[in-house]
Structure 1
């Protein structure tokens, strides 16, 4: 199917339906959200300080869902309550990563307690649109209690095509939620917000015009199960090139082969194909941490072309990724935030039947 398609469905889990959302573009799977039992990124806890970690400048916290770890904390006494937000998924055997910098994020607005000021996304270039959005923001937040918490606001790029009433409603909802949470900072350890599930995430993050299907079984109708199954295999065909993506405990290894192409530019073509598709592959597979690319042979003069293609592809990806650069052996390294759980940790073959 041509065009963009958003599918909201469920997978069959061992304990009941598991919420899932898929984004398709011209028949290709572009993004995927699947719920799990782990704490969702964005969830907010009233936590209790537990014990500091010497030499790391961090502290373990107590939450209803297990231990959490807060980096770079000072002046926090054991037993003290504090509000924290989940920033990503914990690796097996490790504590939940959290931060004290809370963000209340929705489709159009992000409310930022402790960071005053109203800012409009730089992707909105039109001055009249920017001025209109600033006017909506000031009118909506005029006299709002969020100012008592030095609350700020970021208007997302999705505001550019939105109705003014929808933007105002979103701003008010996030500001009200922020005040409610911030006024509930004292007490025992408790989860104050759940974080967005896959369907809410799809509404929040997939903002470009798309056809939306919500009927049960829409995943099967559009072949999403088969596309998910393909993500369990390391081999990926990119034209005449073949790529193998294999996560290990320490890092994710990506091996590029030119296949049957024996031309002089075969290595560059294979590497450029990888650069364009790598963010999508890592996103769908839920892979983060260190990523090492064992690229196909190509002249050193072509490295800049590869880096440019990779940088352009990463700009369209919402996961923070550092392009660390070349190793002495000619490999290329990335450092990617662990923003998602590995697909193999949350989906089984039985769920796709």
Structure 2
């Protein structure tokens, strides 16, 4: 009989904060936090009205119902972007060729208002789901270059063409599809087209200057991204949230109808299964093992280091057996801590030295098995002669420590982040590398708004020279949730 884990999702709604906890067999595995102070309008779609066209700047101000008019540059008008690629220098598109004062148009926010500046807009709408980004104004299919196997890439493209038969629009397949049944693409495509149909209907019915579509809040993103066949219950402590989640499931995942229940007990919902205590523990360096041993976890800019210690554990057998049992227990706990704390990048684990080759292989196999159950991309190297193991893990969001903590006000953290110029040059190098390997006819760079602005506004010649050298067009697209150093390259 194959064991099937049982997953439960808890949703806690505070005055200015929403938290989602994912538990497997009553043990906290993941925590998500969204605060009102950090909820922007990036990704929202509005029915805007052109209030003023600025020919000298090749831009326009758009009224989307906010205090300040939003800003739309010609490079963010999808038709103009396409035409510019085929135009000579003398025939470059002009803003007046595409929009006029008083015109209504559908726009998406790509940059929040800042200071005296209004929001930045684009007409190139994109709607993400778990496995696919839907591009209603495109007809292309792109696959993330992080999916490296060519057979897999061709298979996914074939599936997209099959599942989208008769449905207009383009797609970018996200890396998250790896390790998942490709049929999951079908439900994602159907879901995205339902969303797009709703957007089209609402935009016809409302006046200009109104919100058409708001990006999903955390509790609905959790349904979209976390619910699978293992989820047996979803509990929320606010009736309004329960209603929204229930309607969302009925509309898009009716096979899961009835999963959401209202938690109305006096005891706070996160006190169930000790969730609050587990969050506090996840912010500490020291992690206790049941055997009496412990881990020391340290995050740096370069890597995460994990030191395994026997502590008070002496065991009933030989010294070698005590070390083996401590390392074996640690291997399972390490996988959970990486997932719970959302630690990524390079991870160095300093296991206690083991002379027995069979013990070494068993510990590494145990870590691999535990990491497989976390559904994250990772690599694990062989255990070195001095007990060091190097691994990598892909991080999908900020670490728990970075969300909940800040640098010490005394030492100021003494950490560094890459400059935008550094990241842009890394991107350029990666584009050159991918172009040489895959020989695409064109490419799309999906990156943070900072890198996009740098390549579009600050150093436009950098991208122009690259296109000339590679002899292929390169399109830029902002992903509203990417950090400065996060990017993807789609090939066509």
Range of TM-score over shorter length: 0.5 to 0.7
RMSD: 4.7
Aligned equivalent of 2:343 = 287
What does 1:200-215 correspond to in 2, within 5 Å? 200-203=220-223, 204-207=225-228, 208-215=230-237
Q: 1:7 aligns with which of 10, 29, 35?
A: 10
- Check 1:196–1:277 CA distance in 2 against 1; reply closer, same or farther (3 A cut): farther
What does 1:1-80 correspond to in 2, within 5 Å? 3-11=6-14, 16-35=15-34
CA distance in 1, matches of 2:275, 2:374: 21
Q: What is the Cα deviation at residue 269 of structure 1?
A: 1.6
What does 1:109-128 correspond to in 2, within 5 Å? 110=132, 114-115=140-141
Q: Retained in 1: the 8 A contact 2:351–2:388? A: yes
Q: What is the Cα deviation at residue 25 of structure 1?
A: 2.9
Q: 2:129 aligns with which of 105, 112, 133?
A: 105
Aligned equivalent of 2:308 = 256
Q: Normalization by structure 1: what TM-score?
A: 0.58
Q: What is the Cα deviation at residue 175 of structure 1?
A: 7.0
Which protein is richer in helix relative to its size?
Answer: 2
CA distance in 1, matches of 2:199, 2:356: 51
Q: 1:277 aligns with which of 329, 333, 343?
A: 333
Deviations 1:138-179 (A, max 9, x none): 5x7332112xx377797954978xxx9x77842533676999
Q: What is the Cα deviation at residue 30 of structure 1?
A: 1.6
Structure possessing the higher radius of gyration over alpha carbons: 2
Aligned length: 262
Deviations 1:103-123 (A, max 9, x none): 8324xx635764379xxxxxx
Aligned equivalent of 2:369 = 312
Q: 2:393 aligns with which of 310, 327, 336?
A: 336
CA distance in 2, matches of 1:20, 1:111: 25
Deviations 1:256-298 (A, max 9, x none): 1123224331222222212222222112112212211110121
Aligned equivalent of 1:225 = 276
CA distance in 1, matches of 2:382, 2:403: 31
Aligned equivalent of 1:242 = 294
Aligned equivalent of 1:186 = none
Aligned equivalent of 2:352 = 296
Q: What is the Cα deviation at residue 210 of structure 1?
A: 1.8
Deviations 1:215-240 (A, max 9, x none): 14422355321221111122222221
**3-state DSSP class of the match of 1:325?**
coil
**3-state DSSP class of the match of 1:35?**
strand
Q: Retained in 2: the 8 A contact 1:291–1:336? A: yes
**3-state DSSP class of the match of 2:375?**
coil
CA distance in 2, matches of 1:304, 1:177: 54
Aligned equivalent of 2:194 = 173
Q: What is the Cα deviation at residue 254 of structure 1?
A: 0.7
Which protein is richer in strand relative to its size?
Answer: 1
Q: Retained in 1: the 8 A contact 2:286–2:294? A: yes
CA distance in 2, matches of 1:268, 1:179: 61
Q: Retained in 2: the 8 A contact 1:238–1:273? A: yes
Aligned equivalent of 2:454 = none
CA distance in 1, matches of 2:28, 2:181: 23
Higher relative contact order (CA 8 A, sep 6+): 1
- Check 1:334–1:110 CA distance in 2 against 1; reply closer, same or farther (3 A cut): same
What runs of 5+ residues in structure 2 fail to find an aligned partner? Answer: 46-70, 72-84, 86-107, 111-125, 144-158, 202-211, 239-267, 407-492
Q: Are 1:142 and 2:199 an aligned pair?
A: no
Aligned equivalent of 1:51 = none
- Check 1:150–1:235 CA distance in 2 against 1; reply closer, same or farther (3 A cut): closer
- Check 1:159–1:295 CA distance in 2 against 1; reply closer, same or farther (3 A cut): same
CA distance in 2, matches of 1:257, 1:159: 44
Q: Normalization by structure 2: what TM-score?
A: 0.43
Deviations 1:308-339 (A, max 9, x none): 11111111223322213344643111122232
Q: Retained in 2: the 8 A contact 1:242–1:258? A: yes
CA distance in 2, matches of 1:152, 1:285: 27
**3-state DSSP class of the match of 1:317?**
coil
CA distance in 2, matches of 1:33, 1:231: 13
CA distance in 1, matches of 2:194, 2:183: 15
